[in-house]
Amino acid sequence: MRDDPLFLLALPTFAVLMLVEWLADRRDPDRPANGIAGRDTASNVATFFLGRIAKPLLAQALPFSAVVLAAALTPLRLSPAHWWVWVLGLVVTDFCYYWSHRADHRVRLLWTAHSVHHSSRFFNFSTAIRLSWAHPVVSQLRGLFWVPAALLGFPAWMIFLLQTIGLLYQFPIHTQRIRTLGKPIEFLFNTPAHHRVHHGSNQPYLDTNYGGVFIIWDRMFGTFAAETEPIRYGLTKDLDTDNPLKVNYAELMSLVRDVRTARTWRGRLGYLFGPPGWSEHPARQATPSSPADPEPARAVA
């Protein structure tokens, strides 16, 4: 999420929704055991606010943006004065988000940052703000996925704004309080039901439901899964900590150890750019159904 005025204005709404969800959970005799936990929520909030401190400093240290550069160089120009440009922009930027999010789960270097969001064993509104921070290389690589939108002629500021809108949309779908919505909505849009599946770490949920605003991309590209059995939230290998520093850097440290001990350049590159669970030793290769140990912690896509 970007630290822009729209996002900052949404913070009070996030806080109110988290409070309402917590009160509803306290009064529900049938509340799920993996709904809300105090220490987990505190870790989510702490991780979030540490990120608000670190990210502005990181932005000053690494001011380069591939999206801004691409928008300046492209000969195409789309005017935000037309309503259809905004509609098209939302679709295009969400399409870019789908592929970025898919790469977050399939490229281990990107997973070192995104795994932070999936590391909670609980699923509630506060899970939405459990976000990584101070992963500069990952941030620059992820930005490349929105370069096509800039090359099509969308202004850079518009792309960033639509990114933020797409991420704000995803906050209220981090809940178990809403089961399903109407069929047309469930078919086209990402919903709490779809996103719960995305956060599952058990089969058949691993690496599914990458969509941001629209779930139609998953239906088109074969990564959609419906909720068919109980969901186990978190990583395939639990971090077993609520320390926000460990939550943020555990997978990165695991990656560094694997790269340092790799015996070949194929192994080093494989650990960086292969999927989580990849190993240069085939006998130790992890699979979603039978994770090996040691293994990078994984979760749903």
For the entire predicted model, the pTM comes to 0.88
pLDDT at 63: 64
Under a CB-based contact definition with an 8 Å cutoff, are residues 123 and 227 in contact? no
At residue 277, φ and ψ (nearest 5 deg) are 95, -10
The pLDDT of residue 291 is: 32
> In the Cβ-directed half-sphere of 265, how many Cα atoms lie within 13 Å?
0
Which three-class secondary structure state does DSSP give residue 186?
Answer: helix
The first and second tokens of residue 214, run together, are 């629209």
Within 10 A of 121 (CB to CB), how many other CB atoms are there? 17
| Burial annotation 167-201 (CB, 10 A radius, 16+ → b, else e) | bbbbbbbbbbbeeeeeeeeeeebbbbbbbbbbbbb
- The amino acid at residue 182 is G
Mean pLDDT, contiguous 10-residue spans, the chain (301 residues)? 64 89 82 83 90 70 81 96 97 98 96 95 94 84 94 96 94 92 96 96 93 97 95 91 91 94 93 92 54 43 35
Contacts with 155 (C-beta within 8 Å, 6 or more apart), sequence order: 71, 78, 80
pLDDT, residue 160, reads: 94
For residue 154, what pLDDT is reported?
97
Interior angle at CA 119, CA 215 and CA 288, nearest 5: 70
| Alpha-carbon dihedral angle through residues 151, 138, 214, 92, given to the nearest 10 degrees | 0
Q: 264 burial class (0-12, 13-18, 19+ CB within 10 angstroms)?
A: exposed
Place of tokens 């999936």: 118
